[in-house]
Chain A
Amino acid sequence: MKILGISAFYHDAAAALTIDGLPVAAVQEERLSRSKNDPTFPMRAIEWCLDQAGLEPEALDAAIFYERPALKFDRVLMTLLRGFPQSWRIFPKAMKNMVGEKLWVRGIVSAQLGIPARRVHFTDHHLSHAAAAFLTAPTEEAAILTADGVGEWATLTVGQGSKRPGGPVDIRLLREVRFPHSLGLFYSAFTAWLGFPVNEGEYKVMGLAAYGAPRFADEVRRILRRTPDGAFSLDLGYFDYHRAVDAAYSRRFVDLFGPPRDRFEPIDPGTAQGRHYADVAASAQRVLEEVIVDIATAFRKETGLADLCLGGGVALNGVANARILREAGFERLFVPSAPGDAGCALGAALWADRILFGQPHRDCPDHPFWGPAVEPDDLARLAAEDGLAFERAAEADMIDNVADAIGRGAVVGWMEGAVEFGPRALGHRSILADPGDAAMRDRINRDIKFRESFRPFAPVVPVEQAATFFELPPGGARLGRFMSGVFPVRPEWRDRLRAVTHVDGTARVQVLEAAMAPRLHRLLGAYSRCHGIPVLLNTSFNIAGDPIVTSAAEGYSTFRRAGMDLLVADDVVVRRDRARQAQRMEVMA
Chain B
Amino acid sequence: MIRRKGRLRRQLIIAGSASATVADLVRGLWHASGGRRWMIPLVVFLCSLGVILTLAAGVEALAPFIYSIF
Residues of chain A whose beta carbon lies under 8 Å from any beta carbon of chain B: 43, 46-47, 50-51, 56-57, 69-71, 73-74, 77-78, 81, 95-96, 98-101, 103-104, 106-108, 110-114, 117
Contacts and interface: CB of A to CB of B under 8 A. Distances in A.
B69 interface: no
Given A70-B21, A95-B46, A99-B49, A111 B13 contact: yes
Given A106-B20, A114-B5, A117-B20, A74 B14 contact: no
10 contacts: A47-B1, A56-B1, A56-B2, A77-B42, A95-B49, A95-B50, A100-B53, A100-B54, A111-B11, A111-B14
Contact of A104 (B1, B17, B28): B17
Contacts of B17: 104, 106-107, 110, 117
Contacts, number: 80
Interface of B: 1-3, 5, 9-11, 13-18, 20-21, 24-25, 28-29, 36, 39, 42-43, 46-47, 49-50, 53-54
B46 A99 contact: yes
Contacts of A81: 39
Contact of A46 (B2, B15, B16): B2
Given A69-B21, A99-B46, A47 B14 contact: no
A74 B29 contact: yes
B69 to A, nearest CB: 16
Nearest to A69: B21
Contact of B2 (A71, A74, A99, A112): A112
B24 A104 contact: no
A103 B2 contact: no
A101 B10 CA distance: 13
Contacts of A104: 14, 17-18, 21, 50, 54
B53 A107 contact: no
Given A99-B46, A100-B54, A107 B25 contact: no
Contact of B3 (A96, A99, A101, A114): A114
Given A104-B54, A107-B16, A112-B10, A73 B25 contact: yes
